[in-house]
Amino acid sequence: MVRIIGIDPGLRKTGWGIIETDGVRLTYLACGTIRSDASKDLSDRLMMVYKGLAIPLADWKPAEAAVEQTFVNKNGQSTLKLGQARGVAMVVPAMCGLKVAEYSATQVKKTVIGTGRGDKNQIGAMIAFLLPKAKPDSEDAADALAIAITHAHHRKIGELKMRVCA
């Protein structure tokens, strides 16, 4: 069994979800949402994300991590802040010795719901189907579980490519 943490980074809300896989089965372990206080300075908010991710990493000790890639939106300031939160979301597992995989939102949707153009309701429905014990407290936590599922699926493809190329 391999334990995976999926992270959906954000400055206001960062979702995290932990699953285990044996290559065929998926098992839900935990998920949650880190909320930062919008009245605080940016550095304080980033520290809230850092501390919030350090807890499940220490408690659950995943072996692998996956983070959603940043999309660029029309507001440059928002994109920059999201990128900073994403940087924190990547460095916390890296500090624990984990290699961090990255997946686009489209790739996560294609893997979990079968199309790259799905919505949050479809992600939630597939999480309920694939991980029936999961009760995410936010869409961000559900997205984090979807990111972990995506990694569980694609990590095997990566291993096979490495074997074929070796």
Selecting among 8, 20, 64, 143, the annotated active-site residue is 8
Selecting among 20, 64, 140, 143, the annotated active-site residue is 140
On whether the CB atoms of residues 26 and 19 are closer than 8 A, the answer is: yes
Question: What kind of architecture, by CATH, is found in domain 2-165?
Answer: 2-Layer Sandwich (3.30)
Q: Is position 41 annotated as part of the catalytic site?
A: no
Instruction: Map out the domains of the chain as residue ranges.
Output: 2-165
Distance separating alpha carbons of residues 1 and 45, to the nearest angstrom: 34
Beta carbons within 8 Å of 1's beta carbon, 6+ residues apart: 20, 21, 22, 27
Selecting among 20, 64, 68, 143, the annotated active-site residue is 68
How does pLDDT run across 17-60, given as a tens digit for each residue? 999 999 889 999 999 999 999 999 999 999 999 999 999 999 99
Q: Is position 20 annotated as part of the catalytic site?
A: no
Q: What is the pLDDT of residue 75?
A: 79
Q: Is position 159 annotated as part of the catalytic site?
A: no
On whether the CB atoms of residues 114 and 61 are closer than 8 A, the answer is: no
On whether the CB atoms of residues 6 and 60 are closer than 8 A, the answer is: no
